[in-house]
Structure 1
Amino acid sequence: MNNSCVFCDTEEKFLENDLAFAIYDKYPVNPGHMLIIPKRHVADYFDTTIEERQAIDKLIMESRKLLDEKYKPDAYNIGINCGEDAGQTIFHVHVHLIPRYKGDLDNPTGGVRGVIPEKRIY
């Protein structure tokens, strides 16, 4: 555990298993935006173990089921920022599970390609 890490210190766990947990994003893109986080403090997704990735994946599926029931989104984006130049600001791996709703963006073409706005629509 890293005492200076907001994810290591959180007690707001919405779902959890032995190796990971899920919380609602404090700055949601859309209603229901969740973060799925390994319990072990590790900065980069590429440094997680296969067991951690499986635990994260299980929570993504559980979270989706709950979000489907509570928010009834039309679609989802799943994303991970790996490194400062990819936009990572908290250096403890976290997977964004973002519910998407018809009309939340005029033209959603390109989806996650929007991280570089001029490349989103092709």
Structure 2
Amino acid sequence: MKDCIFCDPKNRNYVIENEYAGMLFDIHPVTKGHSLIISKRHHPTFFDVPKEEMVAMYSLLNEAKKYLDNEFHPDGYNIDVNVNPAGGQAIMHCHIHLIPRYHDGKIVFTKFPDDLSK
């Protein structure tokens, strides 16, 4: 999709990937290691992703967890999927947040610029 930040080739420097999904670090992390699992094909929301691609995203989610375990040693995780603007989705391209959590409890929330919601 022409105006989608996740479809732009310059934003596809994946840390790990498979056929249908890629993992990137969030540019507005709420904790150290906050990552996104992104569908490679444009699907506006989680509910628009075909089953085969969702299976690939789930598989990559597990790989990303192992990667983050090795790199950052978190104490836990949050997995978050926002659907549509009313559900908190700022970028209309399916992505899953994998957020490492640490016993120190520090979490920083950032406000997304309005221009990212296109």
Query: Which of the two has higher C-alpha Rg?
Result: 1
Q: Which residue of 2 aligns with 1:102?
A: 103
- Deviations, residues 55-100 of structure 1 (Å, cap 9, x unaligned): 0011111100010011000000001000110111100000000000
TM-score, reference length from structure 1: 0.82
Q: Which has the higher contact order (CA 8 A, sep 6+)?
A: 2
C-alpha distance in 2, partners of 1:23/1:58?
Answer: 15
Identity rate, percent: 43
In structure 2, what is the equivalent of residue 6 of structure 1? 5
Q: Which residue of 1 aligns with 2:111?
A: none
* Structure 1, gaps ≥5 residues long: 107-122
User: Does the alignment pair 1:63 with 2:64?
Assistant: yes
* TM-score, scaled relative to structure 2: 0.85
Q: Distance between the aligned counterparts of 2:29 and 2:95, measured in 1?
A: 14
Aligned position for 1:48: 49
Instruction: Give the Å deviation of 1:52.
Output: 1.0
Q: Secondary structure at the match of 2:7?
A: helix
Gaps of 5+ in 2: 108-118
What is the aligned partner in structure 2 of residue 112 from structure 1?
none
Amino acid at match of 1:3: K
Question: SS of 1:96's equivalent?
Answer: strand
SS of equivalent residue, structure 1 residue 6: coil
